[in-house]
Amino acid sequence: MTKQDLQPDQKQQEAHPEKEEPTKKIKRESILLEEIQEGYRKLQKARSTLYTASNVEVGETPNEVLVETRAYRLLHYQQMVSKTAKTPILVVYALINRSYVLDLQHDKSWIRSLLSQGFDVYLIDWKAPTMADKYVSFDDYVNCFIDDCVEVLLKKNKVDKLTLHGYCMGGTMSTMYTALHQEKVRNLAVIAPVIDTERDSTVIANVAKNMDVEKMLHVTGNLQAEQMYALYSALKPFKQGVNKYFNFVQNIDNEPFVDNFLRLEKWLYDTPPIAGETFRQWVSDIYQKNLLVKNELKLRDKLIDLSMIRVPLLNIVADEDHLVSPQCSAPLNDVVSSIDKRLMRFQTGHVGLIASLYSQNNVLPKIGQWLKARSQ
């Protein structure tokens, strides 16, 4: 048998090209149709699922309301294990969005992690201000609301000092409070505090530094929720818009992904107003004039001098933070007079620092160790 005999007849190969091509075309069209139908199914499922975001359960760690006023609720969380730290922790959340991001879901809860490490945890859950609150200022938040909560904790626990633990703007307010009332503070532990705004290169900082806040508040009274959400949506328009929802549709059948997405989505849209005078001070005095780090900020007649702070300080920052530059938070360690002070930096973002598996595995164990050594 010759080599030529083993080769198929060229005429046979070319005999039915008109039959093979339509078959391939039909198969491709069938696959394409299936992909379109699957994409449409996912899109419809994603659309209906998004409508349920407001019904998602968050902040489920058991707690009791110790005090409730028109400005805040003071929550006390139920112990999960035997209390091993004598010093109670008062968590001061920011005035932006809602505090349940610290207790978003069981496996990513900042609150539950602290409880599981034996700490006694309290939290100030800020209420949304109304137009009647447009003249409420940082003096009210720091010297009235926070101080009232501190007094409740000290009396309830029969101690003379507590750990003040603030997040973002809450970290800034905790720093202000400590500068004025450190006789009541054993430890100051802050997460991504706004301190030196001259070093803040974020979009938010640039917007704040160029904002005519007086003119805006003259029209709106308070900073409205819609304005706040529009600002945050503009920070990363592709990631927070097109890309975010594209990923959601692609993962719509992944139940853990969907649950996590809906909780974060609920939190992102749950944006309360900010009292007008407080927002004016935040923009004008802190971002535009940078008075806090210069030790020139006054709450009424009380000067905030950060160099007066001598209590142990833990400053926790995220290197990938797009809301508060780590370079803005880190200078706190340079301006206080504390001997016992530490700066912890983590490779994550603003929300990832507090509400992620990375946070549970890498951030909270180290924070717990630092606090426990100073909470007896």
For 62-108, write each residue's pLDDT tens digit: 999 999 999 999 999 999 888 888 999 999 999 988 888 999 888 89
Alpha helices, DSSP H, located in the chain = 3-6, 10-13, 17-50, 110-116, 138-140, 147-157, 169-181, 203-209, 213-220, 225-233, 237, 244-250, 255-269, 276-280, 326-329, 332-335, 357-358, 364-372
The 3-state DSSP class for residue 373 equals coil
pLDDT at 5: 52
* Whether the predicted pLDDT of 360 surpasses 60: yes
In terms of DSSP bridges, do strands 341-346 and 302-304 run parallel, antiparallel, or are they unpaired? unpaired
State both tokens at 186. 């054993």
How do residues 301-333 score in pLDDT, each as one tens digit? 999 999 999 999 999 999 998 889 999 999 999
The answer to whether residue 33 scores a pLDDT higher than 60 is yes
The structure tokens 């028109």 sit at 70
CA 169 to CA 193: how far, in whole Å? 6
Q: Among candidates 203, 212, 256, which has minimal Cα distance to 230?
A: 203
Q: Which residues contact 204 (CB under 8 A, 6 or more apart)?
A: 231, 235, 323, 324
**CB atoms inside a 10 Å sphere around CB 5:** 6
Given this model, what pLDDT does residue 10 score? 52
| Residues annotated catalytic, as ranges | 168, 321, 350
Cα–Cα distance measured from residue 279 to residue 271, given in angstroms and rounded to the nearest whole number: 14
Whose tokens are 């969380």? That residue is 77
Cβ neighbourhood burial of 30 (10 Å; 0-12, 13-18, 19+): exposed
pTM, rounded to two decimals: 0.86
Domain presence at residue 51: no
Work out the number of other CB atoms within 10 angstroms of the CB of residue 199. Answer: 16
Q: Which of 39-53, 70-84, 106-120, 200-214 has the lowest mean pLDDT?
A: 39-53
> Max Cα separation, the chain?
108
Beta-bridged to residue 89, according to DSSP, are 121, 163
Q: Which one has a higher pLDDT value, 332 or 54?
A: 332
Residue 7 confidence (pLDDT): 53
Provide the pLDDT confidence category of residue 249 given band limits of 50, 70 and 90.
confident
Which range has the top average pLDDT, 247-251, 260-264, 266-270, 339-343?
339-343
Predicted pLDDT at 316: 98
Burial zone of 13 (CB within 10 Å; 0-12 exposed, 13-18 middle, 19+ buried): exposed
On whether residue 354 sits in a domain, the answer given is: yes
In a domain, 17, yes or no: no
Residue 341 counted as domain residue: yes
How many folded domains does the chain comprise? 1
In a domain, 45, yes or no: no
Strand 121-126 with 72-77, pairing: antiparallel
Q: Which two three-digit tokens encode residue 29?
A: 């069209």
* Tens-place pLDDT, residues 173-203: 999 999 999 999 999 999 999 999 999 988 8
Mean pLDDT for all residues in the chain: 87
Q: Does any domain span residue 3?
A: no
pLDDT class of 234 with cuts at 50, 70, 90: low
36 belongs to a structural domain: no
Q: Where residue 88 sits, what CATH number does that domain have? A: 3.40.50.1820
Q: Is residue 35 part of a domain?
A: no
Least Cα distance to 188 among 315, 282, 275, 285 occurs for 315
As a whole number, mean pLDDT of residues 209-222 equals 87
136: domain range?
56-372
Burial label, 109 (beta-carbon count in 10 A; 0-12, 13-18, 19+): buried
